[in-house]
Amino acid sequence: MSTGIVFGSNDGDAKVVAEYIASKIGCGVLNATDLTADFLDKNDKLIFVASTHKVGEVQKDFQAKLGLIGEADWTEKTLALVGLGNAAKHPDTFNSGLVDFLPVTKGAKLVGAFDNPGYEFDYSAAFINGKFIGLVLDYKNDPQWQAKTDGWLNGVKQYF
Ligand SMILES: Cc1cc2nc3c(=O)[nH]c(=O)nc-3n(C[C@H](O)[C@H](O)[C@H](O)COP(=O)(O)O)c2cc1C
């Protein structure tokens, strides 16, 4: 069993972040458009990297796969979530799309909850009990995104 990193990206931002994480962990990346039940079966450690679009919804290619994701057996799997959003333009739904994964990955060991890495926002559905449910980044506006990702990876790499 091995690690799989899946990204969902409209304009390529989440792909860049996914490839950066993959380079640190030493595995490949898969576009959510190509996600299959077989891929989910074969990888017991997964990292989903997804931007938020519309009004707080997970990126569309991942959204199209939520049913498929929900059909997998998550009870033996470890999952970490990475979100991309824009705090200044979308302060009321900052990275909210990440929560769309929660109901379809029940039973998974969810790792990588993280403090707010320095963003100003008003509300995020992904900010629960004082922490984000994964790493969140404002990739377009944050020159520190790699350093923040490195800090998050320090905490989660033991699982991957
Ligand atoms: C139409 C549109 C809606 C967006 N809605 C949100 C949102 O609700 N919350 C948020 O945090 N970011 C939102 N964003 C910002 C994107 O998530 C951000 O630009 C991200 O870097 C895009 O990554 P991608 O190219 O991988 O899709 C939105 C962007 C666009 C263009």
pLDDT beneath 50: ranges in the chain: none
Residue range 105-147, pLDDT digits in tens: 999 999 999 999 999 999 999 999 999 999 999 999 999 999 9
141 Cβ inside 6 Å of ligand 1: no
Provide the token pair at 15: 């792909």
Q: Which domain holds residue 71?
A: 2-159
For residue 43, the 8-state DSSP code is: E
**Domains in the chain: how many in total?**
1
CATH number at residue 44: 3.40.50.360
Mark out the alpha helices in the chain (DSSP H runs).
13-25, 37-42, 60-63, 66-71, 145-156
Distance 96 CA to ligand 1 centre (A): 10
Picking from 124, 54, 51, 46, the residue whose alpha carbon sits closest to that of residue 83 is 51
pLDDT of residue 57: 98
140 Cβ inside 6 Å of ligand 1: yes
